[in-house]
Amino acid sequence: MNDEKEKGVEILEAHQEMVGHIEKGAQRIRALSAVTILVAAVLSVSYVYELLLPLTGVKTVTVDLTAPSNQAAEVLVLILVLAWLYVGVRDLLFSTKMSREIARARAGEEEVGKRMGGQDSG
Sign of CA dihedral 19, 22, 27, 28: positive
Sign of CA dihedral 83, 86, 91, 92: positive
d(CA 93, CA 33): 21
Please list the pLDDT of the chain residue by residue as tens digits (122 residues).
Answer: 577 677 777 777 777 787 777 777 777 777 777 877 887 888 889 889 989 999 999 999 898 999 999 999 899 889 888 887 887 788 778 777 777 777 777 777 677 767 766 654 44
Sign of CA dihedral 92, 94, 97, 100: negative
DSSP H or E run through 63: none
